[in-house]
Structure 1
């Protein structure tokens, strides 16, 4: 279910919501979109449209209703009562996918923190059937603590413990970054909209085996490898190594709780010397996706980090859409940035990408010149 509130990025076909649902293991059976000037305070879509959605859900045998926008706790509770079935929003769907995909200890902690923060606002709809507990020993018939208050306190305690554990992880990452800085390692982070081909490009560049698939949020955990860049002359006379990190993908309306929770991971992008901004050139909505990535980069403090754009998946472009030159310039927020057209799958453009990386790294950190030999001093015979 999608509601067009007049925003330019509205997905009338609900294509991305359908992809998110499939990624979470669901099978979409129907899609409904409507226009409103503002959300309905009680049901988000109004009673008439809610009745229509309920009838369609019963007709198609749907077991759950998904909204492409974020719902308030009251709207979600009212919709579930009206529909007589579970109702979830885009935020919960993304949290579910992240919970399924997190593999590392850090990733699981980050998702758990975001999930707990989300659930802490939804307790009112989870425990409506519970009465007050009776008082403890020595209390005669006095009202005790509400179950909802007990659960809220338990969640608050879990949030506190999880946040403390993430602080330790953040310290470990900071230590690793300081070690790289002491080694004067040039740091490159791969960023981009989800399913733009970041992990495939990462694997192609460093011959790694990071999980990559044609789906949203195929990987959540940051992976860092050393990338050796040959000198521009290609004569094998020298080169240098840089660190290359593959980070979590961005998406429209990425929940703020996830951005906060993944701060330790996203800090890799904020502390990088260069961002490799991967764009799915075959996606007709890639200009909006670029804008969304830029918004998140500013939010995490990485908006001023230099970028090299990689317009990926050119093998999926029609012949008349193929670029004339594989390397050119592209304007992002008023700044001209280098751009390389490539295909991580076929390898097209990867040599040009490596040459651009060599050029950028050399300009930013030229290799130290060898020290001149000390002059010979005459010795007396």
Structure 2
């Protein structure tokens, strides 16, 4: 086929005006729509199907790079007369691989919502036809993205990150969507954020971050500050553990009735993990509270502790004896009561023998009176016969108390004794 050089672009007046306006606008167009043609005269090699209303750069290219190896001439012509289509854009581009633009031409236009019909005007190329559907542009996005950062890692007791910290930056945009996320570490320049940022240099750090959406809105710069510290040296020291026994002791140092064992453990490095104890021949078990021991006899409590680094103390012991409580101190008395007649009068006779080892003060109490006898010697008795002032009485009881000094303390003991009913006249 003979190749013929043709004019680069043929535009109608409206098309020329559109081109002139677009040249003035320069790079302001936000969309680029590309049509290509090859050796076919029945269809365009490629063509857009949809676009958004607004400024558009139309590119029409036909040359060897698009598959036009025969040097064919094609046009990209927008229909401005057929019913049912938009007629506000008048484009008629004539292109050939051998024209002065190498078969590639651009024109800027302004599309409106609706459907445009395009075709090739070259005779015999009637099959090269198509439609471009243009939709309205959405509302203008003027809201910047929401962006935040979180720091994670192992913390020490002061809230510092041990060995390293990881900074995760998150951004959202409900309108045009997030386009870019950037961060800067300390005094460094901003760079693209693609994955959590690991920071392992010891010291205080500040990470600044920002995001931009697809409409070009940029967020304010946020920041997060944290400190990375070096790990402590490996803990090889076991905990320090001790035990204390408490309770009421007798004169021999034994615990009366019961003893309580309290175990304490400390670890200045990794910290205490577990504390265990074993009573006598029993197995070790977790220590959670002071251990009461009430069984009479000698006891041994073994104890140990383990820290969070796995170091276990040696087994320590504490030994103690639990004894039964002695019977309460008392003033021993033998008490008797009897009713009898003296003539026609009834008397109640009460006697209390001091069975103790020390003198006692004895008080005899009846329904018919009472009396107190001081310093009743051991083995001696306090006695009183009480006149009932009646010829007969019913059965009843008397109360006797004895008070003596035992081990430096006054001890009072009470007793009761019964007497029978009696009639004397």
Category of TM-score, reference length = shorter chain? under 0.3
Structure richer in helix, relative to its length? 1
Larger Rg, first or second structure (1 or 2): 2
Higher RCO (Cα < 8 Å, 6 or more apart): 1
- Which TM-score applies when normalising by structure 2? 0.18
- Which TM-score applies when normalising by structure 1? 0.20
